[in-house]
Amino acid sequence: MNLFLLYSKACGGFFRQLFLAAILFVTLPGGLSSAATAPNVILFLGDSITAGYGLELSQAYPALIQKKLDAKGWPFKVVNAGQSGDTSAGALNRLDWLLRNRVAVLVLELGGNDGLRGLPVETTRKNIQQIIDRTRAKYPAAKIVIAGIKVPPNMGREYGGKFEAIYPELARTNKLPLIPFVLEGVGGVRELNLPDGIHPTAKGHSIVAATVWKTLEPVLRSLAK
């Protein structure tokens, strides 16, 4: 394997993110400036769950959402901006670059790594709120969907309860559709996760896609009319 590929893997999803954005740019007539001809972009901003850690990109749940969209003939383009190991702060730091694409829908799957590191709950909440605020400031018509995350029991009941409350609180405050738990039916199920017990298998991602679709589909339906 050459050094570029080794470095790409070491940097997680950054090069994949860059490549996807570049492909989106060059395949649209007139580039990103041709809003009239561009498909509606659905930006999935997340960590290793969204990135499809340990799998082919085509097996990750955002790619499975794209298949559902294509089957319906809806004019949406999924951009997977998942990056393994990313925190809410990391996602916030790269947001402005990602928002160079006109975003119709933003799906936020963030905070899992914050929780695993035991970062202050309020810090995570503020970071995600800033992502929401910056997106709305640049694209006021953009729809935003927030996906809830849970932390393992060994993080403590008090911390876990406060952490999990971030997501319904943000959804309520910002009037956002909420996916209560993105790993519903997958988290903690051995056969649906890789040997690390954290990241879904391909079958697990198909369940995640179905969970996300339940909340996302009505949002997209309103835009596809």
What DSSP string runs through 121-148?
A: HHHHHHHHHHHHHHHHHH-TT-EEEEE-
User: According to the model, what pLDDT value does residue 179 have?
Assistant: 98
The residues near 85 (Cβ < 8 Å, ≥ 6 apart) are 12, 47, 48, 113
Is-contact 171 177, C-beta < 8 A? Answer: yes
- Residue 147's pLDDT band (boundaries 50, 70, 90)? very high
What is the distance between the alpha carbons of residues 196 and 102, in angstroms, rounded to a whole number?
36
Is pLDDT larger for residue 13 or for residue 76?
76
Query: Which residue is catalytic, options 48, 84, 86, 88?
Result: 48
Residue 104 scores a pLDDT above 80? yes
Annotated catalytic, 48?
A: yes
Mean pLDDT calculated for residue range 133-141: 97
Residue range 45-66, pLDDT digits in tens: 999 999 999 999 999 999 999 9
What residue ranges define each of the domains in the chain, with the CATH number in brackets?
Answer: 3-26+38-224 (3.40.50.1110)
- Number of helices and strands (H, E) in the chain? 10, 5
Alpha-helix runs per DSSP H in 139-201: 157-164, 166-174
Q: pLDDT tens digits for 6-37?
A: 333 444 444 454 445 444 443 333 333 334 44
> What is the distance between the alpha carbons of residues 34 and 101, in angstroms, rounded to a whole number?
11
**Does 116 have pLDDT greater than 60?**
yes
Portion of the chain with pLDDT greater than 90, in percent: 80
Residue type, 56: E
Task: Write down the pTM of the prediction.
Answer: 0.85
CB atoms within 10 A of CB 25: 14
Q: Indicate the pLDDT class of residue 38, thresholds 50, 70 and 90.
A: low
Is the model's pLDDT at 168 over the cut of 90? Answer: yes
153-162 burial, b for 16+ CB within 10 Å, e for fewer?
eeeeeeebeb
Is residue 199 annotated as part of the catalytic site, yes or no?
Answer: yes
On whether the CB atoms of residues 45 and 95 are closer than 8 A, the answer is yes
Residue that wins the pLDDT comparison between 67 and 12:
67
Selected residue with higher pLDDT from 16 and 147? 147
The sheet that has 178-179: what strands, in order across it? 76-82, 40-46, 103-109, 143-147, 178-179
pLDDT > 70 fraction of the chain, expressed in percent and rounded: 83
Given 47, 86, 199, 205, which residue is catalytic?
A: 199
Active-site residue, 196 included: yes
Q: What is the band of 224 on the pLDDT scale with cuts at 50, 70, 90?
A: confident
